[in-house]
Chain A
């Protein structure tokens, strides 16, 4: 069965600093990959997704992610973090028709001023 690992439970970065959140998946074929963000007290919102094609994907709020097949990774990046980016971030993997999304455990991002 497919699985998703987010190795970092918490990350703290300074405002203006760059950010990288890690995500590794386990699946034999190319999966469908997603990053969602959850602000406190809110539901999850899609940041970006990868299905095929260009391995560097641009999303909303200045985020991007890169799919690396050789490393089974789909890391999320942002060049300069804003205080409003403080939230919990979830990586998710989906398979082809008939299956569901599997979410990682999430990474809580704290931004210090």
Chain B
């Protein structure tokens, strides 16, 4: 149990376009989802915390108008990178927390975004 999926696994887009990444909890309801960014050979940086039915809470330095997060249901959160630029190229990872597990986050496999 506790499987989190992401779609797509890889995406290439042109500079100036927008791209949407989906994060789904497959076998549990996730009241809270998290979005991270991972640069090559570096650690995960928390971008935002997403609670179902409410606005996401963004970490300092993360542009909320650039990275739009929607947590529309208990099993789905989406991250939209708007007007993407090459510097947005990165590995984006989501995680989900089930109500029963206060401490544990279940991670998705990640999405590799390349902006050309």
A binds B: no
